[in-house]
A and B are shown apart, each in its own frame.
Chain A
Amino acid sequence: MGIVKTEDLVYEYIRRDEEGNVEGITRAVDEVNLDIRQGEFIAILGHNGSGKSTLAKHINAILNPTEGTVWVDGMDTGEADKVWEIRQTAGMVFQNPDNQIIGQVVEEDVGFGPENMGIPTKEIWERVEESLKAVGMYEYRRHSPNKLSGGQKQRVSIAGVLAMHPKCIVLDEPTAMLDPSGRREVIRAARALNDVEEVTIILITHYMEEIIYANRVFVMDNGKIAMEGTPREIFSQVEKLKELRLNVPQVTLLAYELKKRGIGLPDGILTTEELAEALERIRP
């Protein structure tokens, strides 16, 4: 079994009217089956309201399935006595950088998780140091989080999770509120953790350029997994992505546009170099 596995996962919200009567049921996650191996870099794509964030919250046992099962490192998230161990194994970084930093000083925030776990003081300091170094925020350890940029705040949040020594980190739209340079910072930090520390990364996003580095991509729509494959396989289906309210990077879109005009290019071009080389080959 992989680090994260779901089997026929279903999650339903019950909508109630003002008197508390059931008005309807919304299926936010619908029969999702995932099996993610330790050390993978996974991207979950989907438009707003596709159910991707709801799915993510199951991995951290913040939500419990209505039907089906979620296992994290072999532990069933439905078992109440395993909750803390699960949250320690699969850490989570959220969208809004301001609403997840608890400490008033960067290092105190990073220490919050280990404190909750009851780690001895000396080891907390070691963990805080190594985590902040891993995301490149060590020199800011004494700063107030309010004075940091969005990208820096998110890196602090990642360090806060990392200090709990998780096997897997779920990033729930960590870049949605950032500017391009902040986005790059965060993705770079996540990739480094995956490469160097071999932490499993599950990145939830709707920015297409962030998923190029993923091993596997899942595209969600209406609570279901609508597409699954490598970034190249996903990007080669421009029409389908558009139907799912998503986009592709400009270079892929350009290649697609050229193909439509009868120029024989391969599917799923991801980088400028690939396009340039492909065009060079067909140039008479």
Chain B
Amino acid sequence: MSIILDHVNYVYGDGSALEVKALDDICLQIPDGQFVGIIGHTGSGKSTLVQHMNGLLRASSGHIYFNGEDIYDKDYDLKKLRGKVGLVFQYPEHQLFEIDVFTDVCFGPKNLGLDKKETELRAFDALRKVGLPVELYYQSPFELSGGQKRRVAIAGVLAMKPEVLILDEPTAGLDPKGRDEILGQIKELQQETGLTILLVSHSMEDVAEYVDRIIVMNRGSVLFDGLPKEVFSRYKELEAVGLAAPQVTYILHELKARGMDVDVNATTIGEAAESIQKALKSV
């Protein structure tokens, strides 16, 4: 099963001089279990796009299917959809409100109408999955560090047991280690549970190591969609729209231009080192 977007358009400020076409004829298919990176700079439509996938925004035209059902059908239960397609907003720690971490994480499953036992089980499970130390479960969420708060907020969505988890800039404002930790945890989560994950980011470098597929958004439409190495190979076109491939891509292209036989498609530091080492030996 999957999410399918069929010719989705989203226009706001309709009919006025301020009319903006935030999404322009988007056609996408997100199969189950994929780890997808959605890249674009601010205002490219990437956040608008993901807010369509759980029905928070309604397309001006086009259709969205989740598990084969049209989510715009009259009797389609959008509340249920939001339980299945979990969306973690940018700076999600700003939505915390309960007296302690655990109660806050219970908010989502409770809203799904689950009984107390199931709600609490799910909350525990979610907090464990995001790697929050147990001694923090009954502290006020406002006393935690930035990185910890973010984990709590992610757990709050995870506790609804979604089939698809969308994260909008989950690493914004974190320090490099915190960034790696969160992304590592998400990758682990995906491998452990087979969740479909959509990671919205403006940094290619951050997502290159983790994702199976990259969708590049620009001015409300899909510019590229493919494997990381396919997308990065278009680095000149990416630059033209204000994005950049990871530094590794540039290094390898530079080396190639200087006559070294390296594989320009390597996307991670490890792969690049491997390729350079081989090139040095082969001469």
Residues of A within 8 A of B (CB): 47-49, 149-150, 176-177, 179-182, 206, 208, 242, 245-247, 249-251, 253-254, 257-258, 261, 263, 272-273, 275-276, 279-280, 282-284
B173, B202, B251, B260: which has the most chain A beta carbons within 10 Å? B251
A163 to chain B, nearest CB (A): 27
Q: Give Cα A208 to B174, complex, Å.
A: 13
Q: Please state if A179 and B251 are interface contacts (CB–CB under 8 Å).
A: no
- Residue B258 at the chain A interface, CB threshold 8 Å: yes
Write out the residue numbers on chain A whose beta carbons fall within 8 Å of the beta carbon of B176. 47, 206, 208, 245-247
Task: Check if A245 sits within 8 Å of B177, measured CB to CB.
Answer: yes
What's the minimum C-beta distance from A259 to chain B, rounded to whole angstroms?
10
**Interfacial chain B residues near A206, Cβ < 8 Å:** 175-176
- Cα separation A194 to B63 with both chains bound (whole Å): 53
* Number of inter-chain CB pairs below 8 Å: 90
9 contacts between A and B (CB under 8 A): A179-B42, A247-B176, A247-B177, A254-B269, A254-B273, A283-B260, A283-B283, A284-B280, A284-B283
A258 and B273 within 8 A (CB): yes
- Is B272 touching A254 in the complex (CB atoms < 8 A)? yes
A276 to B177, CA, bound (A): 28
* Whole-angstrom CA separation of A86 from B91 in the bound complex: 34
Asked if B258 contacts A250 (CB within 8 A), the reply is no
**CB interface residues, B 219-274, toward A, < 8 Å:** 242-244, 246-248, 250-251, 254-255, 258, 260, 269-270, 272-273
Assess whether B173 is in contact with A176, with CB atoms less than 8 Å apart: yes
In the complex, what residue of chain B is closest to A273 when comparing beta carbons? Answer: B254
Partner of B269, one of A150, A179, A182, A253: A253
CB atoms of B255 and A254 under 8 A apart: no
B52 to chain A, nearest CB (A): 21
> Are B175's CB and A251's CB within 8 A?
no
Interface residues on B, range: 35 or more
- Taken together as a complex, chains A and B put the C-alpha atoms of A101 and B254 apart, in Å, by 42
Contact call A258/B276, Cβ cutoff below 8 A: yes
Other-chain contact of A254, B42, B202, B248 (Cβ < 8 Å) = B248
B251 touches A272 (CB 8 A): yes
* Given A47-B178, A245-B177, A276-B251, A150 and B42 contact (CB-CB distance below 8 Å): yes
Instruction: Say whether, besides A47-B178, A249-B247, A279 and B280 are in contact (CB < 8 Å).
Output: yes
- Interchain CA distance A3-B215 in the complex, whole Å: 48
A272 touches B173 (CB 8 A): no
Query: Is B146 part of the contact surface with A, judged by Cβ < 8 Å?
Result: yes
| Chain B 146-180 interface 0/1 with A at a Cβ cutoff of 8 Å (1 = within) | 11000000000000000000000000111111101
Residues of B within 8 A of A284 (CB): 280, 283
B145 proximal to A (CB < 8 A): yes
Q: Verify B269–A261 contact, CB threshold 8 A.
A: no
Q: Are A177 and B173 in contact (CB under 8 A)?
A: yes
| Option from A150, A245, A258, A273 in Cβ contact (under 8 Å) with B277 | A258
Across the interface, A279 reaches (CB within 8 A) one of B203, B248, B260, namely B260
User: Do A280 and B247 form a contact, CB below 8 Å, given A47-B177, A245-B175, A253-B269?
Assistant: no
* Residue B24 at the chain A interface, CB threshold 8 Å: no
- B177 touches which of A208, A246, A254 (Cβ 8 Å): A246
- Chain A residues in 8 Å Cβ range of B43: 149
| Complex interface: chain A residues within 8 A of B283 (CB) | 283-284
Question: Do A48 and B258 touch (CB < 8 A)?
Answer: no
**Quick one: which of B180, B254, B273 contacts A272, CB cutoff 8 A?**
B254
In angstroms, Cα B273 to Cα A176, docked, is: 30
The 10 nearest A-B residue pairs measured at CB: A245-B177, A247-B176, A250-B247, A47-B175, A179-B202, A257-B273, A206-B175, A48-B175, A179-B42, A276-B254
> Counting CB contacts under 8 A, is B129 at the interface?
no
Could you say which of A208, A250, A280 contacts B248, with CB atoms under 8 Å apart? A250
CB–CB A261/B178 < 8 A: no
Q: Which of A177, A242, A257, A279 contacts B255 (CB 8 A)?
A: A279
Residue in B244, B251, B280 whose beta carbon sits within 8 Å of that of A275 in the complex: B251
The CA-CA distance from A182 to B202 in the complex, in Å, is 11
* A272-B247 contact in complex given A150-B42, A283-B260, A283-B283, C-beta closer than 8 Å: yes
Interfacial chain B residues near A261, Cβ < 8 Å: 273, 277
- Note all chain B residues with C-beta closer than 8 A to A253: 269
Distance from B153 Cβ to chain A, minimum over Cβ atoms (Å) = 16
- Knowing A47-B175, A149-B42, A257-B269 are in contact, say whether A181-B242 is a contact too (CB < 8 A): yes
B276 to chain A, nearest CB (A): 6
Q: Does B205 lie at the interface of the complex (its beta carbon under 8 Å from any beta carbon of A)?
A: yes
Bound-state Cα–Cα, A189 to B258, Å: 33
A112 to B177, CA, bound (A): 38
Do A49 and B145 touch across chains, with their CB atoms under 8 A apart? yes
